[in-house]
Amino acid sequence: MAKITLSYLYNIFGSNILKTFNKDVKKILVFSPQRTFSNYFEAFLEKNFFINFVNTTNEVKNYDSKIHKHILCPDLDYLKKYHSDCIIFILYKNFELWLKSLEKNDQDFFDHFLHYHNIKIERNDKIKLKQYYFNWYKNWLNIKNKIKNVELINHKQTLTIENKKKLFEYLKLKYKLYSKGKFSEPRKIRRSDSFRENIYLNNIEDSNSPFEEYFQIIE
C-alpha cells in the first residue's frame, strides 16, 4: 500500500483551493520502467508545484490499468481519449542504474508486476532484463510525437542542484504550473524510507543507451 504523506495531502488541499478559484491545476501522468526515479520525480513535482497527480501509486494500484505508471505498452488511443489534457512525463534512467535499483529493492517487479502480465524474467537474467528495458523505451518513445504535452526527462537532470533548478523554471514557464515558492529539493520519497540525497546524487554514470539522445538535459 502506498504511503500517504503530509506533503501529498498538502498538495491535494492546495490544489483544491486553487480549483475553487477556477485556476488551472495541471494534471500529471508519470511513466517509467520501475520505481525509484519515478517516486523521486513525483516528490520533486509535489515539493515544488500544486498539481493533480493522476497515476501515482496512491491513485492507481491495479496492474491492469492503462495508466499504471510502469506499464510496458502505452495505449495511445486511450491516452488521447481520456488524458489529452495531461502533461505526460516519460522518465529515462540508463540500464545499469535501473538494474542496480532492482537489485537493491525490486519491490513488486518480479513477483507481482511481471507475473501479472505473464512476463517471465529471472532476477539474474540480465539479457532478458535488458530486452525488457529496450522494449519499454521503444514502446513509449513511439508516442512522443503523436500526443501533445509529452516531456522526456533524463535521470541526470535531477543529479545536480543547477539542473534541478533549470527543470523547475522550465516546467513552471512552459506549463504555467503553480509553484509553492522558490525551488525546494525533496528530502524523502515514497516507498523509499532509506532514501538519502547524497547517495542519490552519486548515481552519475555514463551510458551508451540508444535512447539517451532523446532525453536531452534542459539548459
Grade residue 190 by pLDDT with cuts at 50, 70 and 90.
low
Query: Residue 204 and residue 16: Cα distance in Å, rounded?
Result: 38
For residue 86, what are the β-bridge partners?
27
Cα–Cα distance for residue pair 173/146, rounded to 1 Å: 23
How far the first Cα of the chain sits from its last, in Å, is 37
The residue with cell 520519497 is 189
| Model confidence at 207: pLDDT above 60 | no
Give 62-85 pLDDT, tens digit per residue: 999 999 999 999 999 999 999 999
Locate the domains of the chain by residue range: 24-214
pLDDT in tens, 119-172: 999 999 999 999 999 999 999 999 999 999 999 999 999 989 999 999 999 999
Q: Topology of 24-214 in CATH?
A: Rossmann fold (3.40.50)
pLDDT of residue 144: 93
Which of 54, 85, 84, 79 minimizes the C-alpha distance to 69?
A: 54
- Does the structure show a pLDDT above 60 at 206? no
pLDDT the model gives residue 198: 47
- Using an 8 Å Cβ cutoff, are 101 and 38 in contact? no
Using the Cα atoms of residue 88, residue 94, residue 95 and residue 99 in order, give the sign of their dihedral.
negative
pLDDT level of residue 108 (50, 70, 90 thresholds): confident
Task: Say what the pLDDT of residue 188 is.
Answer: 75
Q: d(Cα 151, Cα 172) in Å, to the nearest integer? A: 13
